[in-house]
Amino acid sequence: MEHETTEVAGWIMNAKKMVVFTGAGLSTESGIPDFRSPGGVWDRYDPEDFYFQRFISSEASRVKYWQMATEMYEPMKQAQPNLAHLAIAEMERLGKLDCVITQNIDGLHFKAGNSAEKVIELHGTAMHVSCMHCHKRYNRDAIQERIKEGVKAPTCDDCGGPLKPATISFGQAMPEKETQEAYHRSSRCDLFMVIGSSLVVHPAASMPLIAKQNGAKLVIINRDPTPCDDLADAVIHAQAGPTLDAILRRLKMGLGIGGRNGPG
Ligand SMILES: [Zn+2]
**Ligand 1 centroid, distance to 155 Cα (angstroms):** 8
> What's the confidence (pLDDT) of residue 260?
52
Quick one: pLDDT at residue 155?
98
Instruction: Determine which one of 3, 85, 109, 123 is catalytic.
Output: 123
Phi/psi of residue 128, nearest 5 degrees: -130, 165
Query: What radius of gyration, in Å, describes the C-alpha atoms of the chain?
Result: 19
* Residues belonging to the chain: 264
Round to whole Å and give the CA distance between 26 and 256. 28
DSSP 190: S
Q: What is the pTM of this model?
A: 0.92
Q: Say whether the peptide bond before residue 203 is cis (omega within 30 degrees of 0).
A: yes
CA of residue 128 to ligand 1 center, whole Å: 14
132 CA → ligand 1 middle, Å = 7
123 assigned to active site: yes
CA of 147 to the centre of ligand 1 (A): 18
Q: What distance in angstroms lies between residue 171's CA and the mean position of ligand 1's atoms?
A: 21
Between the two ends of the chain, the Cα-to-Cα distance in Å is: 20
CB 22, CB 104: distance < 8 Å: yes
pLDDT recorded at residue 27? 95
pLDDT recorded at residue 169: 86
Residues with C-beta atoms within 5 A of ion ligand 1: 131, 133-134, 136, 156, 158-159, 161
pLDDT values of the chain reduced to their tens digit, one per residue, 264 residues: 788 999 999 999 999 999 999 999 999 999 998 766 666 666 777 777 778 999 999 999 999 999 999 998 999 999 999 999 999 999 999 999 999 999 999 999 999 999 999 999 999 999 999 999 999 999 999 999 999 999 999 999 999 999 999 999 888 888 899 999 999 999 999 999 999 999 988 778 899 999 999 999 999 999 999 999 999 999 999 999 999 999 999 999 999 987 554 444
Tell me how far apart the alpha carbons of residues 195 and 220 are, in angstroms, rounded to a whole number: 6
| C-alpha of residue 111 to centroid of ligand 1, in Å | 28
How far, in Å, is the centroid of ligand 1 from the Cα of 109? 28
